[in-house]
Amino acid sequence: MNQPCILIPAYKPDQKLVSLVRDLRAASFEKIIVVDDGGGAAFAALFAEIRTLNTPVIVHAVNLGKGRAMKTGINYILEHGLGDFGVITADADGQHTPTDIRKIADEMARAPDSLVLGVREFSGKIPLRSRFGNLMTRYIFAAINGGMIRDTQTGLRGLPYNQLGFFMTLEGERYEYEMNMLLALRPREIHVQQIPIETIYIEDNKSSHFNPIVDSFKIYVLMFKFIFSSSTAALIDIGLFMLLTKLIPHYLFLAVVLARIGSSMINYWVNHKIVFKKRGSHAQSLWRYYLVVSLIMLLSYGMTKLLHETTGMPILASKIISDSMLYIASFYLQREFVYRHHH
């Protein structure tokens, strides 16, 4: 049958994993791979039982983390030609049902090039830790990376065949790997489909290793890169501006323009290659970038002049305040207009 391969990374699982594999077999899923992520001899009998269900088990001698287990499984799937219709990753703790896994498989058949996420609705009695972690990462992710992912922590994912090799190259050995996958969507121009699934928490989700503070921090990396890029450009911009206002003190607008041209060249390259990781040619992004630069520059000039003339504030202080106020606008314009994919 033309079905995705089911990949289940497992670290010290219990009988719920055996039940899941058995139920998936009963639901006519023919290709199932389990990765024993270093459970050791105490779990050998359980994984032996899984093998009796005609399910290969790949063994890590020591615990290497969920990200590494997923990459190990994807590598096995590609080596054995089992991923032609994509891969569905599912958790080993009983939180993902065969019915919901079937929903992901059906959506993958409709959208074979998309990443399909099984998203929980978080209604009813949800452990506070899980509710807080998901809400925080959901809105931080949307604000910084763009696009609302309703469940950033979901382990039920449909990975398209054409991205399996790429997913193997992503950084992250443990739980950060799943976040890195989501952060790669925009630079890689991968579409995402979000399918509602049942919300199941067993024993208040005590088995979860997600840290809402540490793992949410990883989303901030994009903003930190932008801050570094913008700060470097700002220092160049201010340095050139100070020099030019000394050389041509009566030509404020010209000083703003020349300083911005110099700083923007460095800022564009860093943002293109490192921050937003835009692929392909510079042809489209370059003119969009300088359109945004021109807009921000005019606003900077107007605000700097207004502050300086109405408050008597020194010209340099007026410029620093004006540019700081325009920082967020610049970030969103570059993310949504300059470096996003345009069909």
Region 136-154 average pLDDT? 76
Q: What is the pLDDT of residue 343?
A: 44
Question: How far apart (Å, rounded) are the C-alpha atoms in residues 147 and 134?
Answer: 15
Question: How far apart (Å, rounded) are the C-alpha atoms in residues 320 and 308?
Answer: 11
Dihedral angle sign, alpha carbons of residues 271, 274, 277, 282: positive
DSSP 203: G
Region 159-164 average pLDDT? 97
Q: What is the pLDDT of residue 248?
A: 86
Check pLDDT > 80 for residue 302: yes
Q: What is the pLDDT of residue 220?
A: 61
Question: The pTM is what?
Answer: 0.68
Region 314-328 average pLDDT? 85
- Tell which residue, 318, 65, 78, 102, has the closest CA to residue 215: 65
Range with lowest mean pLDDT among 32-36, 201-205, 269-273: 201-205
Q: Could you tell me the domains of the chain?
A: 5-218 (3.90.550.10), 222-338 (no CATH)
Task: Determine the angle formed by the axes of helices 15-26 and 98-110, rounding to 10 degrees.
Answer: 50
Average pLDDT along the chain: 83
DSSP 4: P
